[in-house]
Structure 1
Amino acid sequence: MSRLVLTHVFHPWHCDHFGHVNTRHYAAAFDDATFAFWAGLGVGQGSIVPVTARQMITYQTESTSGTVVSIHAKPVRVGDKSVTLEFAMSDLAGGALAHFEVVEVFFDNTTRQSAKMPENVRAALNALAEAAS
């Protein structure tokens, strides 16, 4: 099972001229969820940090102003230097709204190059992946 990482509400200023949430605001919500995912694992401080290498959003159902969403996350592939995470956004009734996949690469802030994932982070991700399957 995936973990709840963020609850978010869409406001009128998130909507475009068609009356539905603009794609830029889905991206922001998923970016916040990614940050919350790592913060929940205690990752993000120090010299080795995850950075986004690739992301893809699939929109499933329209969202409008006042929609309260929950975003759940799970790791689906854990490598030596990177991890692929899946996020699912749903409304309060559980209806699927959007799906987000992101590849995060671990980066050494000192050398400014990709780095091997810290073992404690790798173990935590593997445990989450196992629990989600």
Structure 2
Amino acid sequence: MTQPVPTLQSTVNTWHCDEVGHMNVQFYFTAGADATRIYAAGLGVEGPVTTRIVHVRFHHELRAGDIFSLSTQTVGTGETGLILAHELYNRGTDTLAATIVSRTDLAPELVSEPHGTLSEMARPRSVGEHSALPLLSLGDEMAADLIPIYQGIVHSAQCDADGLRQQFIMARFSDGAAHLWHHIGFDRDAMLEARRGTVVLEMRLDRLADISSGTVLVAKSAIVEVTGKVLRFAHFLFDGVSGDLLATGEASAVLLDLDARKTVDFSEAERAGLAPFLMEM
């Protein structure tokens, strides 16, 4: 059976962190992509590795100054190639910070040993293993009802041989999240004054097409479900000119007490305020 091998080792810098005070989700996708490339190099693969689907579960926060490392192993074969599981540990506390599962285009024959087993901590919990989101176009009636969260352009520095890198696909959703929360009634300044923030528990990113430099991007989102403390979102990234769907994301998020660093419930008033924004997907 394949065993986990050390891949990425690094540190959380201040510019990796957001207003909640922990490493922003986009940099977990960066870590997973880098670990995938390092693992592939160990298999003798030269050049880029394409990953179409990435699933991340966030277990403990990483904050500025934290040191971390990833270990990687194969855990199966998907439709496009090898499935890699990465475990990201805070090395200062020796705690599991995140699990990242990458569905790659690496050829299955690169690994001759039996695959490892995906741990329970890495298995999908509040976000499905496979997307059930509709394949919308920007001009569709349903797309018109989505909440606009981002519009911008792809810069060459954000691209590799496959086009826009995972980090910067995820960044469109992450950077747009503040617009989404504001739209549904969670004003940033009021939340910070109340010492509350938002935190993602789990996320899956589906890359549906390569995205080249110069592409105009439009991101839109919907609230799919409110269950207990958890709010589930669906994100759609479109080509702003052709209207084609380029990527989707699904996430579950909660409110966070910024002092206790613990999740808190939505109030009854907040739940009532969320109801008009729910969309069935």
Which runs of 5 or more residues in structure 1 are unaligned? 107-116
| Alignment-derived partner of residue 17 in structure 2 | 15
Secondary structure (helix, strand or coil) at the match of 1:17 reads coil
Q: Which residue of structure 2 aligns with residue 112 of structure 1? A: none
Distance 1:17-1:2 versus aligned 2 partners, 3 A rule: same
Deviation, structure 1 residue 81? 5.1
Alignment of 1:2-81 (within 5 A): 2-45=4-47, 50-78=49-77
Distance 1:80 1:56 in 2: 16
For 2:96, the equivalent position in structure 1 comes to: 96
Identity %: 25
Larger Rg: 2
Which amino acid is the alignment partner of residue 14 of structure 1?
A: H
AA aligned opposite 1:96: L
Structure 2 Cα separation of the partners of residues 84 and 118 of structure 1: 9
Separation (CA, whole Å) in 1 of partners of 2:46 and 2:83: 16
Report the TM-score, using the length of structure 2 for normalisation: 0.38
Match of 1:122 in 2: 111
CA contact (8 A) 2:18 2:24 kept: yes
Displacement of 1:53 after TM fit? 1.9
Mapped partners of 2:73, 2:44: distance in 1:
16
**Superposition TM-score, scaled by structure 1 size:** 0.76
| Superposed CA offset, 1:31-58 (max 9, x none) | 111111111211134xxx7421211111
Indicate conservation of the 8 Å contact 1:7/1:71, yes or no: yes
TM superposition shift of 1:118:
6.8
SS in 2 for 1:55: strand
- The offset of 1:79, in angstroms, is 5.9
SS at match of 1:27: helix
Query: Higher relative CO (CA 8 A, sep ≥ 6), structure 1 or 2?
Result: 1
SS at 1:86 equivalent: strand
How many aligned residue pairs are there?
116
Q: Give the conservation status (yes or no) of the 8 Å contact 2:9–2:70.
A: yes
The alignment's C-alpha RMSD in Å is 2.5
Asked if 1 retains the 8 angstrom alpha-carbon contact of 2:88 and 2:97, the reply is yes
Aligned letter for 1:102?
S
Residues 78 and 122 of structure 1 are in contact (CA less than 8 Å); yes or no, is this contact kept in structure 2? no
**Contact 2:82/2:108 (8 A) holds in 1:** no
Cα distance between partner residues in 2 of 1:80 and 1:18? 37
Could you tell me how far 1:105 is from its partner in structure 2? 2.1
Q: List alignment gaps of at least 5 residues for structure 2.
A: 119-281
